[in-house]
Structure 1
């Protein structure tokens, strides 16, 4: 995350025992679930949630760098920030860190969200409420 990046959300989460895989650490697919939960928490703070009868967001790409395994039990923090704000898309950077030591980085990367026209499936302009939420 760059110093000028707009922080969208920083939220704690508890790692659940059921998130573990056979190697006794959090399964890589669960990282995507943690990030999805954080994005949904952020979207709930956006007026209208960036949704209306005409447009809605979809995930177009996800890039995750797995830096170190998360072992159970653990308390983590998911940080979301604006990486790139486009005409029809938003790149949301993310970091997953240890709650007790924010220098312990488990994962970083970004997700590209594209707003689409519900009727045509084509890219649509980002709603103004989303743009405004990204500038706070």
Structure 2
């Protein structure tokens, strides 16, 4: 299945990883929970590279919603191309999106998902405004 990424989504990170034998379940394909781990790893790598480091005594990102749609099975052995996008910076949130395809067939999306990221004041346990530098980074 070919997934079109709307123009408002900005490609911010791309990585490749190998499917590990232990990622599979009893049915012989990658367990659905692993896809969320793949997306999480990409999101954390992008955030770290972008200077988005949570401060438990201050502010930082929290995921408030996550989803994944599965189109084709991934299994061992394989190599996956993961692309991460961001969009829709609002007052306290932005959206992250991810596509996963086999490196051998990058035009065929096997899974696509994402997460809503909210900026939180950790001591107060309340949403707070996205820093301007982060909003600009998402919207550029």
**1:18 maps to which residue?**
22
Aligned length: 135
**2:95 maps to which residue?**
91
Is structure 2 residue 32 aligned with structure 1 residue 28? yes
Partners of 1:50 and 1:129 within 8 A in 2: no
SS in 1 for 2:124: coil
**Distance in 2 between residues matched to 1:32 and 1:78, nearest whole Å:** 12
**Distance in 2 between residues matched to 1:4 and 1:100, nearest whole Å:** 27
C-alpha RMSD of matched pairs (Å): 1.4
Spell out, residue by residue over 1:86-109, the C-alpha distance to the aligned partner (whole angstroms, 9 max, x if none).
111111011011112112211112
**1:129 maps to which residue?**
133
Task: List structure 1 segments (4+ residues) > 6 angstroms apart after TM superposition.
Answer: none
TM, length-normalised to structure 2: 0.89
Is structure 2 residue 96 aligned with structure 1 residue 113? no
Gaps of 5+ in 1: none
Spell out, residue by residue over 1:39-84, the C-alpha distance to the aligned partner (whole angstroms, 9 max, x if none).
011011112x243442111110011111111011010011111132
Quick check: 9-18 or 52-61, which moved more?
52-61
SS in 1 for 2:41: helix
**2:59 maps to which residue?**
55
Gaps of 5+ in 2: none
The 1:123–1:4 alpha-carbon spacing in structure 2 relative to 1, beyond 3 Å, is closer
Shift of 1:4: 4.2
